[in-house]
Amino acid sequence: MSTSTGEKPLLRVKDISVAFPVTGRGIVRRRIGSVRAVDGVSFELRQNETLGLVGETGSGKSTTALAVLRMLDLSGGRIEFDGHDITRLGRARMRRLRRGMQMIFQDPFASLNPRMRIGRILEEPLVVHGLTGDGRGSARRVDELLELVGLDSGTRDRFPHEFSGGQRQRISIARALAVSPKLLICDEPVSALDVSIQAQIINLLVDLKRRTGLALLFIAHDLALVRHISDRVAVMYAGRIVELADRDALYERPLHPYTQALLAAVPRPDPEVETARGIGLLPDEPPRSIDPALGCPFSLRCPKAMDVCRCETPPLRMRDARAVACHLYGPD
């Protein structure tokens, strides 16, 4: 198991990298290097499965999501979705395939057009993908979508500002589901919402996955939420996956010192209820290397660092039915 899943995966991400240019300050703004926001990331996702993606700010989670959607150019690696190699697809073919992969963002207000009524917001993706049929068909579909996310069909004539944050996120989810995607990427979908509303949205996602067989890539800071929703969890640090395991294995027996530090920083009283704000408790900011640093990127902060960690980057290796990138678990 682990970076691979046995069954034929819906999404196969193999060794992808994304680099952003770093420019100098002066007027010319010459390119002086690049940030490797994502550096050799691999994972697979099958239908009806949720992969959680955690890691502190700047670790490359959103960049990974945008790269999977091909909204960013890759500097290396390969992405297969639903049996197609999408690594280098042109715009037109990518647009058709993108129907199968939708995304919801942290801030539903920013992603909904404030001047459109909800009915039109939900019809728009149907129009873009030529799925309207006759006019009545799309009206029925809008009602279905509203019902699917627990909103009254009477709300179709309202504008986004007439809803609460939680209701707006339901609308974003309905819009993403309009075209019946196979994969839904959720980037911090509840972090802008009240804790009480967060649970409702998470339960809605769990229910939708059960009903539709969706695959979810679920990005969040909140480790307790990720534990609740995920089947497997990948931990990112400085653009790399450092550990990827089944949910319970990861939470009950984390192997990588970074995963251990993340989990140790979660406030404990009742981890099922308490939202984890622990990531900020780790000392120091994560490193943002301009050139790929030699050695393990976590070695500067790692309490267990050895000499080898400062000169060799550990590959992601299988260990105890999981993948972990750490010299503590080196080749036997």
Ligand X SMILES: Nc1ncnc2c1ncn2[C@@H]1O[C@H](COP(=O)(O)OP(=O)(O)OP(=O)(O)O)[C@@H](O)[C@H]1O
Binding residues vs ligand X (CB under 6 A): 20, 35, 37, 55, 57-63, 288
Query: In whole angstroms, how close is the CB of 62 to Mg ion at the nearest point?
Result: 3
**Residue 59, binding choice from ligand X, Mg ion, none, Cβ under 5 to 8 Å by partner class:** ligand X
59 belongs to the binding site for Mg ion (CB under 5 A): no
Compute the distance between CA of residue 71 and CA of residue 260 in angstroms, rounded to an integer.
32
Using CB atoms within 10 Å of the CB of residue 197, give its burial: 0 to 12 exposed, 13 to 18 middle, 19+ buried: middle
64 belongs to the binding site for Mg ion (CB under 5 A): no
Compute the distance between CA of residue 190 and CA of residue 161 in angstroms, rounded to an integer.
18
Considering only the stretches 60-68, 135-143, 249-257, 262-270, report the one whose residues sit in contact with Mg ion under the rule CB under 5 A.
60-68
**Residue 8, binding choice from Mg ion, ligand X, none, Cβ under 5 to 8 Å by partner class:** none
**Residue 182, binding choice from Mg ion, ligand X, none, Cβ under 5 to 8 Å by partner class:** none
Q: Among 2, 42, 50, 62, which residue sits at the site for Mg ion (rule: CB under 5 A)?
A: 62
102 belongs to the binding site for Mg ion (CB under 5 A): no
**Residue 159, binding choice from Mg ion, ligand X, none, Cβ under 5 to 8 Å by partner class:** none
Query: In whole angstroms, how close is the CB of 236 to ligand X at the nearest point?
Result: 7
Strands 322-324 and 240-246, sheet pairing: antiparallel
Query: In whole angstroms, how close is the CB of 115 to ligand X at the nearest point?
Result: 27
Query: In whole angstroms, how close is the CB of 141 to ligand X at the nearest point?
Result: 32
CA angle 200, 47, 15 (to 5 degrees): 105
Q: Which of residues 147-206 bind Mg ion (CB under 5 A)?
A: none
Our CB check for Mg ion shows the closer of 104 and 142 to be 104
**Residue 257, binding choice from ligand X, Mg ion, none, Cβ under 5 to 8 Å by partner class:** none
Task: Write out 164-181 in H/E/C secondary structure.
Answer: CHHHHHHHHHHHHHCCCC
Query: In whole angstroms, how close is the CB of 61 to ligand X at the nearest point?
Result: 4
Considering only the stretches 31-39, 59-67, 175-183, 286-294, report the one whose residues sit in contact with Mg ion under the rule CB under 5 A.
59-67
Query: In whole angstroms, how close is the CB of 83 to ligand X at the nearest point?
Result: 27
Our CB check for ligand X shows the closer of 37 and 316 to be 37
> Among residues 306, 309, 317, 304, which one has the least CA distance to residue 293?
309
- Fill in the amino acid letter for 316: L
Compute the distance between CA of residue 102 and CA of residue 208 in angstroms, rounded to an integer.
14
Kindly report the backbone phi and psi dihedral angles of residue 107, in degrees, each rounded to the nearest multiple of 5, phi listed first: -110, 100
Query: In whole angstroms, how close is the CB of 80 to ligand X at the nearest point?
Result: 22
The residue whose Cβ lies closest to Mg ion is 62
Considering only the stretches 56-64, 117-125, 297-305, 321-329, report the one whose residues sit in contact with Mg ion under the rule CB under 5 A.
56-64
Contact 198, 31 (CB under 8 A): no
Spatial CB neighbours of 150, under 8 Å, sequence gap ≥ 6? 170, 204
> E strands, the chain, where?
11-23, 31-45, 50-54, 76-81, 84-85, 101-104, 183-187, 215-219, 232-237, 240-246, 317-319, 322-324
Q: Which residues of this protein are in contact with Mg ion, per CB under 5 A?
A: 62
